[in-house]
Structure 1
Amino acid sequence: MMFDDLDATVKALFDDAAAPAELRAADISFDTPDRAYKPAQATVNLFLHEVCENRALRDEARVMTRSGDRYTSRLPALRVDCAYLATAWSAQAGGLKAAEEHRLLGLALRWLSRFPVVDERFLRGSLRTPPQPYPLSTTVAQTQEGRSNAEFWSALGVPPRPAFSVTVTMTVDPFDEADELAAARRLHLDSTVMPHAALAGRVLDHTLAPVQGAEVTVVETGARTASAMGGEFAVPGLAFGDYTLRVQPPGGPAEQLAVTYAADHQRLTVVLSQP
């Protein structure tokens, strides 16, 4: 019922008490204006002839909402352009017919141009409940580059008529699936620049498992320490510069490596090559 609700929303614009009296008295039709279309009274016809995604408004980011200690993650909704072709029709004859149609069409153009965004009070059905995540925007009397209304009339097999386009952009959510995620209870930050400068890091074996009890020595200064249970080590009191580390794991051969110790490079990972 989505497009029916959009039709009802557009019709509500014409029914507004502030609209010109001649527009409010006219019939608002959404029928196909083909060769058999002959309304019995003054009519503004709004034929929905094209629906396409507005890719300029596409958002690739997932939508995250929180409820208590849970998050819901879902794909973003589509922004869809719904293009109407507006024409005016009179039941009169001769010059009176053309005059009434032109007058109605001009009133419709001026009135709809007042609504670059459709006010919530005009929304109907599923466009109102649940609320649209973005306001319904409109563009009036704009034609895509390289296209003309003549193509439309040619497709219907009827002579061209004065007309203008009305495009309403609405939001459509075709996705029912949503991922449920638990909210983070605790956040631990391990900064690469420590408040108290120290050459620090971890010692890992060739399987990337932490090595406890490895002796870490700064060759140039003789400063030494031993890695803890998680392979962590720290050598404080060094000036920033280039150093050679000698790492002696328990029961294994020692290995040496050159390191650069700087304000923005205080942590390193030593991976032993020997099993």
Structure 2
Amino acid sequence: MLEDLDDTLKFLLKKKLPRRWKRKVTFSFDLPVEVKIDATDLAAINLFLYDVRDNLELRTSAYSVARQYQSVPNNQVRVTKLPPKFVDISYLITTFAHDEANNIGEKVEQEHSLLGEVMKVLLLFPQIPEEYLRGNLQGYDLPVYTAFMHQNGTKTLGEYWQAMGGKPKAVLNLTVTMPVPMNLEEEEEELPIIKEKPVIVGGILPYYNDRRIVIEEKNDSGKEQKEEATGKE
């Protein structure tokens, strides 16, 4: 499912970036120091997935009712399933301008311009609309949230750049909260249908709000007989 999230973010940005960038930007999910830009492209957007964590705030263990159906005339079957889990997927997003930029200042300016456009697109969608979801993220009718958050864990951004062997660059720290359906077998539980009947206690029929209750029965001869009570003595 992680590749589906990659495709979703790529598709969303391709659709929503300004026209000047739409057809002249390549996408990369490699380490931010290994980004290659095609000769025909102006720049690259790198989305580096660096952290996956269980979202404990959205966790629930309660089963949900998937559907119900009637198995026999007097019984119903309730089908239950485990609720989805939610995980937080964190990306470092940065941009790279083409090496053929006239000078370093122009290159950095292009990178910051593109990074700002990426930020605006993602801020527009705190929840990614269904039409932009790709792959297995489609069809579940479950939300996919986005948020710009502080660095997870104990490492600073400087330590990340040092570990990757690259020079520090401006980055966006994006966290996507994504549902993960539990594809376990559904459990079926057969439930009898309960029908309520008036109960006669001590030969007195029940009554409700002084309204007359009529109980129809069949006697031994098969003829219907009616017994009435008003609830008043």
Q: Do Structure 1 and Structure 2 share a fold, with TM-score over 0.5?
A: yes
Distance 2:148 2:26 in 1: 20
Deviation at 1:106, TM superposition (A): 1.1
Distance 2:137 2:160 in 1: 28
> What's the secondary structure of 1:97's corresponding residue?
helix
Structure 1 regions of 5+ residues with no counterpart?
Answer: 189-275
**113, 119, 125: which one aligns with 1:109:** 119
Aligned match of 1:164: 172
> What's the secondary structure of 1:55's corresponding residue?
coil
Larger Rg computed on CA atoms = 1
* AA in 2 matched with 1:138: T
* AA in 1 matched with 2:46: N
**12, 17, 20: which one aligns with 2:18:** 20
Deviation at 1:147, TM superposition (A): 4.9
Over 3 Å counting, the alpha-carbon distance change for 1:65 and 1:183 in structure 2 is farther
Aligned match of 1:8: 7
State whether structure 2 residue 66 is matched by structure 1 residue 65. yes
Aligned match of 2:93: 86
TM-score, length-scaled by structure 2: 0.71
Distance 1:44 1:60 in 2: 38
Structure 2 regions of 5+ residues with no counterpart?
Answer: 71-76, 197-233
Over 3 Å counting, the alpha-carbon distance change for 1:116 and 1:180 in structure 2 is same
> Contact (CA 8 Å) 1:23, 1:108: kept in 2 or not?
no
**CA RMSD across the alignment:** 2.3
| Number of residue pairs aligned between Structure 1 and Structure 2 | 185
> What's the secondary structure of 1:165's corresponding residue?
strand
Distance 1:79 1:73 in 2: 19
Matches within 5 A, 1:225-264: none
Aligned match of 1:124: 134
Q: Report % sequence identity.
A: 33
Over 3 Å counting, the alpha-carbon distance change for 1:30 and 1:185 in structure 2 is same
**110, 114, 134: which one aligns with 2:142:** 134
Distance 1:137 1:49 in 2: 18
TM-score, length-scaled by structure 1: 0.61
Distance 1:103 1:38 in 2: 19
State whether structure 2 residue 53 is matched by structure 1 residue 52. yes
Q: Deviations over 1:43-74 (max 9, x none)?
A: 11111111111111111211222231321222
Larger RCO (CA within 8 A; separation ≥ 6):
2
> Contact (CA 8 Å) 1:133, 1:171: kept in 2 or not?
no
Deviation at 1:89, TM superposition (A): 0.2
> Contact (CA 8 Å) 2:65, 2:79: kept in 1 or not?
yes
> Contact (CA 8 Å) 2:82, 2:184: kept in 1 or not?
no
Q: Deviations over 1:26-46 (max 9, x none)?
A: 112212223x43434401111
Q: Deviations over 1:67-98 (max 9, x none)?
A: 31321222222101111110010113421111
Deviation at 1:187, TM superposition (A): 6.6
Q: Deviations over 1:96-135 (max 9, x none)?
A: 111111111111111211000101110111111xx23421
> What's the secondary structure of 1:73's corresponding residue?
strand
Matches within 5 A, 1:264-275: none
> Contact (CA 8 Å) 1:63, 1:76: kept in 2 or not?
yes
